[in-house]
Structure 1
Amino acid sequence: MIEPTGPLPPSVYWRRRALAGGACVVAVVLLAWIIGGLIGSADEGPVRGTGGSPNLVAAPSSPPSSARPAAPSSSARATATASSGPSPATTAPSGRPTTRPAPVPAGPPKPCRDAVIRVVAQPGAPAYRMGERPLLRLLVVNVGEVPCTRDVSRKLRELLITTANGGKRLWSSNDCYAPAGVEKRTLAPGEPLRFSLNWAGRTSAPGCPVERTRVEPGRYRVIGKLGDLTGPPAFLTLTP
């Protein structure tokens, strides 16, 4: 099968075989070159992450020695130490640290002086109809700067009603009810103590006589008292 057979001369068949063999060799060489080129280009491409930008290249595990910061010199360390010292706000001009005196613990509240106590009468409404029981309030206020104590017992608290001009006394909350006893309370500055009652709209007198009359419609003055302290008048109107 090696010897060429056919109608043509043998030399023709040998040339054909040589050309075919040469073509095979060239094809093998080209194929090997193409495969080598593909493998080389894949190795030289960037290393891509799985979730970042496709253009990111993996960074080296540690920076080169030329990129590492140099250790601070002894003079730089001395400067940093000096700058981290105590701030001027905590140092006195003489160079010694400032010290604040310890707060003095406050003792128990002292009794309130009359000068820091205000007494105020306050009707629940400016006017009431005849037959209603007007609400009256007594306010005791500490207008000083520190808490203090004061006896505000029932025998000292008083609401007084007079005619509008103050000429005639008509009723007092203490005429028929003034129990004995002491009721000391601590009054904080500006926080009033409030006491309230309802007036039946009738007159009274010291000793609480049985005979009591209903007042007429009109305007009346209401005054608050705490012992010897008397507050400014407030006004209440009773309408028919």
Structure 2
Amino acid sequence: MMEPTGPLPAGVYWRRRAVAAGACVLAVVVLAWVIGGFVGSADDEPVRGTGSSRDLASAPSSPAVGSSRPASGTSAPASATSSRRTSPAPTVTPTTPPPATTVPPAPLKPCPDSSIKVVAKPDAPSYRVGERPLLHLLVLNAGKVPCTRDVSHNLRELLVHSADGKKRLWSSNDCYQEPGTDQRVLEPGKPLTFELRWAGRTSAPGCPVDRTRVPAGTYRVVGKLGALTGAPTPLRLTP
């Protein structure tokens, strides 16, 4: 090393040289640190614990120790695994009970003669000769249960008798016959009512042409249904 020369003492020049040498060493160290920082930054990025989606996508996946995940090439589809974990419980559909079986009612029995009442009555107690009296025939079920009865026209009948009941003067069936049957259900206490107007003249079986007008007086109206005959009801004809 060259000896310092100059007007100053030699120690001053040696100190200056030491400071300059130290400054050079420090500059080299700083420059090396800066260069190393730029070079190593790219290698540190994948292991940052940021939790960002980019990190998850770029980081390679590896099975953890003790994991039940199957090895590569044998893994089950993610959809199948998800379905096994989240498949809902089976839905139980309620069943509708079958409708209750309705037993049809037993067929009604025919009405016995003992439960049938036949009543005949005029609409008014008296009429004038020449008028057409309105007559009613009532068929009543006097029993306790409904029943059936044939009330066809050829079975029901209205008659007019003399006051003593010995002479038959007129019948609703002498000049009118209708074949066939007419089955009706008779409810207890609810009569069936039939009506017609009497012309005030006599009649006979076969409906003869010679018919006479019934004079003023008191007569009996009688109702019938087949073999059943009701009690007579009075009817008065006035002049």
TM tier, shorter chain?
A: 0.5 to 0.7
Counterpart residue number, 1:114: 113
Alpha-carbon deviation of 1:178? 1.5
Give CA-to-partner distance per residue, 1:144-182, whole Å, 9 cap, x none. 000000000000010010101001110000000021100
Q: Give distance in 2, aligned partners of 1:108 and 1:188.
A: 14
Q: Which amino acid aligns with 1:133?
A: R
Quick check: 1:154 aligned with 2:153? yes
1:205-220 superposed matches below 5 A? 205-220=204-219
Q: Which amino acid aligns with 1:113?
A: P
Quick check: 1:130 aligned with 2:129? yes
Give CA-to-partner distance per residue, 1:199-218, whole Å, 9 cap, x none. 00000000000000001100
Q: Which amino acid aligns with 1:229?
A: L
Q: Which amino acid aligns with 2:163?
A: A
Q: Give distance in 1, aligned partners of 2:227 and 2:177.
A: 15
Please, what TM-score do these two structures have when normalized by structure 1?
A: 0.56
Q: Report the identity percentage.
A: 68
1:188-227 superposed matches below 5 A? 188-227=187-226
Q: Secondary structure at the match of 1:119?
A: strand
Q: Give distance in 2, aligned partners of 1:190 and 1:106.
A: 21
Q: Which amino acid aligns with 1:206?
A: P
Give the aligned length.
138
Q: Give distance in 2, aligned partners of 1:123 and 1:215.
A: 16
Counterpart residue number, 2:237: 238
Q: Which amino acid aligns with 1:213?
A: T
Alpha-carbon deviation of 1:105? 6.7
Q: Secondary structure at the match of 1:110?
A: coil
Give CA-to-partner distance per residue, 1:126-161, whole Å, 9 cap, x none. 000111100000000000000000000000010010
Q: Give distance in 2, aligned partners of 1:164 and 1:146.
A: 37
Q: Which amino acid aligns with 1:196?
A: E
Q: Give distance in 1, aligned partners of 2:145 and 2:119.
A: 20
Structure 2's unaligned 5+ residue stretches are 1-102
Q: Secondary structure at the match of 2:211?
A: coil
Q: Secondary structure at the match of 2:117?
A: strand
Q: Give distance in 1, aligned partners of 2:202 and 2:119.
A: 22
CA RMSD of aligned residues (A): 1.4
Please, what TM-score do these two structures have when normalized by structure 2?
A: 0.56
